[in-house]
Amino acid sequence: MAARDLPIQTDIQAVRPLVVRYGALGDMVILTVLIRHLYQRFGQPVDILASGGWTRPLLESQPGVGNLYVVSSRRWPYWFDRDQQQLVATLRGRGSSATWLCDDKNRKTRWLLERAGWRSSDYLEVNSLYGKTGSHLCDLFLRFAYATPARLGGEQLPPADNDAFGRLYVSSKQRDDLDTWLKSRSWLGKPLVLVQPGNKRTMRRGSRHRASNSKYWPEDRWAAVLRGLREMHPEHVVLLLGVPAEAQLNDEILQLAGIGNAHNIAHDLPLPRLMALAERAFGAISVDTGPAHLVAAVGCPVVTLFGKANPLMYAPRGPNARVVCLTGQYEGEQSMLGITSERVLSSWADIHR
């Protein structure tokens, strides 16, 4: 476990809210709704227990974020996992406080917390609010921020406002790093278009075309979108995003598209740089995956292609971000394969009118 600035027990520290969320990148962007409102409500930084290498670079510089406790896994037996043992020791030193559990399966989490000194009256579980809020996860976490554990009296308060969207702030350091990087590529000052074709599901072993891959959109359609973008924006730099595992997919799409001034940056895109890049960009096109939520959370316009997931629950939301979510039908079911390149380009044109 890597914990930042292990806290000392004080009266102020003891009242800090604790949020537990073992989520993917998009989940952690949506979580900023809860973090922001707990910070506003209690006037204390929010400590976060999470997993995943994206948690620290995504959240550590965000307003209202306190200590981050990042664990690699909860699946190993406690007695054989020094990571979990260190977590319990750290939380015991921190002291129990009001806690919001944001996952459906919390049995192991409750066990770890209670071993560190928590009682059942200290925490709330998000599934207690299912069916009592709007359908979108941002609405759920907004309402959850105003639910109160029994240790604080158990009173449920109405939300102060309707500020239900992910929000990420880009630091001056991130902007300076981006400027240096763009200058090294001769892209500084040029309009940027971001494209995210890949996702974790598509890059798993096996054929990208397999029936279980609900987030696959054919390479030739991505190539058609790139050609359409080039026709609409002859001077824009087109950048294909992703992690290194998605670089080959990007290369294949670029080869099919055959356009100039389009680049695969999947090998050179740490999260802080992606945040600054999205803030600077003219717009983005993405499958339903974490970067779509990230770009919206910094205010970037985005067209998002959905497979089987419901946009009413998972659509990217951000401050003043123009967002279009596309779904399609294929062989009688909701499927990304029912979305045409023409619809994507038409939606892109709409959000830039």
- The domain limits of the chain are 2-152, 172-351
CATH of 172-351, picked from 3.40.309.10, 3.40.50.300, 3.90.550.10, 3.40.50.2000, is: 3.40.50.2000
- Sheet holding 237-240: strands in order across? 262-264, 237-240, 192-196, 283-287, 302-305, 323-326
pLDDT higher than threshold 90 for residue 120 = yes
- What is the per-residue pLDDT across 11-42, written as a single tens digit (0 to 9) for each? 444 579 999 999 999 999 999 999 999 999 99
- pLDDT of 206: 53
Superfamily of domain 2-152: Glycogen Phosphorylase B; (3.40.50.2000)
Which pair of tokens denotes residue 35? 């973090």
Which pair of tokens denotes residue 327? 């779904």
Compute and round to an integer the Cα radius of gyration of the chain: 21
- What is the per-residue pLDDT across 187-200, written as a single tens digit (0 to 9) for each? 999 999 999 999 87
Nearest Cα residue to 34 out of 96, 126, 122, 134: 126
Q: Which residues contact 103 (CB under 8 A, 6 or more apart)?
A: 20, 21, 22, 23, 109, 126
- What is the per-residue pLDDT across 83-119, written as a single tens digit (0 to 9) for each? 999 999 999 999 999 999 999 888 999 999 999 999 9
pLDDT higher than threshold 80 for residue 220 = yes
- pLDDT of 49: 97
Gap between the Cα atoms of 159 and 144, Å rounded: 9
Task: Give the other-Cβ count within 10 Å of 206's Cβ.
Answer: 8
Q: Give the position of tokens 């476990």.
A: 1
Backbone angles phi, psi at 324, to 5 degrees: -120, 130
